[in-house]
Amino acid sequence: MRKGIGVSPGVAVGSAYCIHEIFLNPETRELEPSEVLAELGRYELARDQTAADLRALKAKVSSQVGEAEASIFGVHESILYDPAFESKLRQWIVDRHQTAQSALHHLLSDYTSLFARTKDDYLRERLSDVRDVVLRLSGHLSQVLDPNSSLPTGPIILVADELLPSQVATLGERQIAGIVTQAGGSTSHAAILARSRGIPAVSGVRGILKQVTNGDLIVVDGREGHVVILPDAETETAYRKLQREFFDLKGALAENRDLPAVSADGLPVELLANINSVADAKAAKAMGASGVGLFRTEYLFLTHPNVPDEEEQLAAYREVIAESPNHRVTIRTLDLGGDKTIPYLGHNREANPFMGWRSIRLSFEHPEFFGTQIRAVLRAAAGSAGPVRLMFPMITTLEEMRRVRSMVRRAQTRLHQEGLRAGKVAIGLMLEVPAAAISIDNLLEEVDFVSIGSNDLVQYLMAADRDNPRVNHLCQPLAPPVLRVLSRVIATCNEMQKPVTLCGEMAGSPRPVVLLFGMGLRSFSMSPAFIPTIKDLLRQLTVAKAEEVLRRAMEFKTTQQVDRYMAQQIAEIAPKLKLLDTA
């Protein structure tokens, strides 16, 4: 049994499918001598296709973002045709009879080892550029080598170092029973994918790719963060029973999609969905959400082959709005940086990337690029059948909020001057920074609504990276300091009559939801798969009970005491939800 971070609840038992490095289908077949020349030809074709992509991308980014930002793709093309780079690939194909894809896999491993040994920060940062080139080349090689390549049919458990957004996009609607990753944590791309689909998942299981091979039977327990490799008969039987209970419970809960979201004493509650794509919007509707509380627009950029222009963004936003429940969508502007980067905005390796040049700070550095997104949102809102709201991430100061409001007004003015319709949108902030939480009363003067991003807020309050297994035990949503801050923010928003929603993982977890409801929160936004669970919980919870539980919980001085107390309360309030209840 291996221990990791449980990032999506539930239990799955199935056959492993390993994704090594950044390759969806790493090849190990040795070439026949007669195949070598053809393999070289396939490599050269893929190389030239990659070069054409890079040149087109350089031109597009230069026109939309700037020449300085576009220059990175010239660097990538030089890497692609670098004599040492090409020589190594050709040597492995010709001398070792490896496929081009396999040679590329080994090349990246060699470069990774080489860059890891250097003490020069500049050279170490160049590994990101090499990986970008390898990923693009690998994509073309996959098409050239085997256009029909795909994951195995039937339910599988993906085992990977980490899933990149581009890989997530290629997975489509495949039958994935569980996900295990070596890296990442609760906000990794793999974790977000798993929660949006209700797939049990565990992250942070270091070295598991060295212990598991394709076809191995493994167990994923997303509640406890456990992964069992090659379980014995007794263990397998026990977990398969839990898996059946998990599926039965999900099926029973899904039947409440048409029931109103109300408390046991009839108080209406908003249950919204966090989405990344049109597919997620459709899932939100199927799960009974009343709208979309968070549309993460960065995934449009992370999965796009180059840079989406205004018309492409407009089309994407219109499609999401059209497919969302009640056509009601809160669109968050780009939240890039940290673990989400795109080459044309720079990798900007930093000692503390989650507290560095990211999110709204990065957007301010590229006003034209940022302005294009605002224009696209305003145009999409103009034709919407439901309300569209515009939200800005990682706002820290009042000055920042005033600045974004000014940018929205300027975009509206220019659209009118160009004869284009600009919709009226409510403007809000995502509250993630402790400084913003402390000064919430001042910020409310400049916003129409607030969305609490509890994932980042919790880790910043506790000064602990939630995706670091060594310190993530400190990053707990039920920690007394976290509860105190949330209580004050919610109370202040209610007093000033500004709508407030919580969009973090707390919104989809039974224990925190009871406390948040007791604090006066009436709007929750979560992964679509969690909506039936929270609806069922709230329909068994009265306001008086929630307030009573909150009063008692706020008296405890340690996280462990709060957690233990809340586990008992959930068992009493909604006993059948125990299988889906995590801290």
Residues classed as catalytic:
189, 503
Residue with tokens 């919709």: 423
CA neighbours closer than 13 Å in the CB half-sphere of residue 385? 10
- Given CA atoms 326, 529, 319, 377 in this order, what sign does their dihedral have? positive
DSSP 48: H
- 129 within 8 A of 118, measured Cβ to Cβ: no
- 261 within 8 A of 271, measured Cβ to Cβ: yes
- Given CA atoms 95, 99, 103, 109 in this order, what sign does their dihedral have? negative
Contacts of 528 (CB under 8 A, 6+ apart): 196, 198, 273, 274, 275, 280, 283, 284, 286, 287, 289
Contacts of 359 (CB under 8 A, 6+ apart): 334, 335, 336, 337, 393, 394
CA distance 74 to 60: 13
Residue 101 phi/psi, 5° resolution?
-65, -45
Contacts of 306 (CB under 8 A, 6+ apart): 53, 56, 57, 60, 61
Radius of gyration, CA atoms only, the chain: 24
DSSP 386: S
Rounded to the nearest 10 degrees, the angle between the axes of helix 83-94 and helix 36-64 is 150
- The three-class DSSP label of residue 349 is coil
Residue 384 phi/psi, 5° resolution?
-80, 140
**DSSP bridge partners of 8:** 201
- The three-class DSSP label of residue 65 is coil
Structure tokens of 545? Answer: 């009970």
Q: Which of 88, 72, 87 is nearest to 129 (CA)?
A: 72
201-203 and 176-181 as β-strands: parallel, antiparallel, unpaired?
parallel
Give the DSSP H or E segment for 518: helix 510-519
CA distance 47 to 86: 10
By CB neighbour count within 10 A (0-12 exposed, 13-18 middle, 19+ buried), where does 558 fall? exposed
CA distance 517 to 211: 43
Residue with tokens 């798993």: 194
- 226 within 8 A of 219, measured Cβ to Cβ: yes
The letter for the amino acid at 319 is E
